[in-house]
Structure 1
Amino acid sequence: MIAASAVPEGTPIIPVGPDAAQAACSVIRESVTHCCALDHGHDPAILTAWLANKTPENLAAWISAPGAAAWGAYRGDTMVGFALLARATLVLCYAVPEALHQGVGRALLQHVETHARKVGLSAVDLESTRTAERFYRRHGYVPHGAVQTWAGLQAQPMRKVL
């Protein structure tokens, strides 16, 4: 595990377990709903499909899965960002609207990559939303495969060689 560190705004990034699933679920749902309009276009059917599996129960199971590692970004006692690495795939990396453009996502991504190197991974894969693609490109991720579509959403497979 990586020791807690802070982004310039004083937001510690700490490893989290399944007990953080409710807070992580709230972060993800708020971020998708309010920050990812480029992807869902405020279409209720797309939002419902996207969020259907984003439940505290599923998050707890994903965090507990073999090969998974998760981190939360906190302001006080409130989680404002969450990232989940499942083996070599970054499956979730979200921040609440109030934490955007303040280094929270970057700090979470750095923790994921540091952990990946520590456990011997040579690359990190992910599927980016259209909203997040520029963020990942800025941090060295490149397209790695054809765009995927599902339930009205597009996802660009990306990879960063570590």
Structure 2
Amino acid sequence: MKVRLASPKEAKRLWFIRNQAIRHGCKNSYDPQTICNWTPDEMPPSYIKMVENNPFFVAVNERDEAVSTGFLNLESNSIDAIFTLPEYMGHGAAGLILDAIKAEAKKRKISTLTLDSSPNAERFYQKHGFTPIRHDNYYSALAQANLACIHMKIAL
């Protein structure tokens, strides 16, 4: 598996990966209605702007198809989410994305990264050097709910 920058033309595929990862990975963290609201099949127009305006990475399979996504939010110096298709979970794709984001942040002289982890992903981020700061809630307009999260950080 290799990592490359995503193209805005891939936004619909990235949205699909996001939704599949949430629907599979978060089912023990959030109720079904919240997950349904949070993962609409139709991609919001603002999503493509995130792909265009931030270093958005994908891990690709042998057919160069994106199977995992994540990006460095340049506005907040944060990782906004790493999502992996369920059938590729546990194969190292998310770790490769995380390494690419960290390298990009260092290149841009960003000394600390933050993220808000869903409860199911907290251990993954801890394994990759992130430290929990506090348990919190994040209001998601898409989900129309407060989502439990763990605010985390790492010094680069």
| TM surpasses 0.5 | yes
TM-score, normalised via structure 1 length = 0.84
For 1:122 and 1:21, the matched residues in 2 are separated by 28
8 Å Cα contact 2:21/2:83 also seen in 1: yes
When the two structures are aligned, how many residues end up with a matched partner? 148
8 Å Cα contact 1:22/1:56 also seen in 2: no
8 Å Cα contact 1:73/1:79 also seen in 2: yes
Partner of 2:67: 80
CA deviations 1:86-124 (Å, max 9, x no partner) are: 111101211011111111110000000000000000011
Amino acid at match of 2:130: Y
Verify: 1:130 aligned to 2:119, yes or no.
yes
Identical residues among aligned pairs (%): 21
8 Å Cα contact 2:137/2:146 also seen in 1: no
Q: Give the CA deviation at 1:39.
A: 1.7
Secondary structure of the equivalent of 2:81? strand
Q: Give the CA deviation at 1:135.
A: 0.2
| Aligned with 1:57 (options 45, 66, 79) | 45
CA deviations 1:32-81 (Å, max 9, x no partner) are: 1112212224x1x201332259726332111122xx11011111142110
| Aligned with 1:144 (options 133, 138, 151) | 133
Verify: 1:160 aligned to 2:147, yes or no.
no
* 1:8-157 correspondence to structure 2 within 5 Å: 11-41=1-31, 43=32, 45-52=33-40, 55=43, 57-65=45-53, 68-75=54-61, 76-87=63-74, 88-150=77-139, 151-157=145-151
Which portions of structure 1, spanning 4 or more consecutive aligned residues, are displaced by more than 3 angstroms? none
8 Å Cα contact 2:27/2:35 also seen in 1: no
TM-score, normalised via structure 2 length = 0.87
Secondary structure of the equivalent of 2:59? strand
Task: Kindly report the root-mean-square deviation, in angstroms, between the aligned alpha carbons of the 2 structures.
Answer: 1.8
Listed as ranges, the gaps of 5+ residues in structure 2 are 140-144
For 1:161 and 1:69, the matched residues in 2 are separated by 19
8 Å Cα contact 1:141/1:159 also seen in 2: yes
Listed as ranges, the gaps of 5+ residues in structure 1 are 1-10
For 2:56 and 2:138, the matched residues in 1 are separated by 26
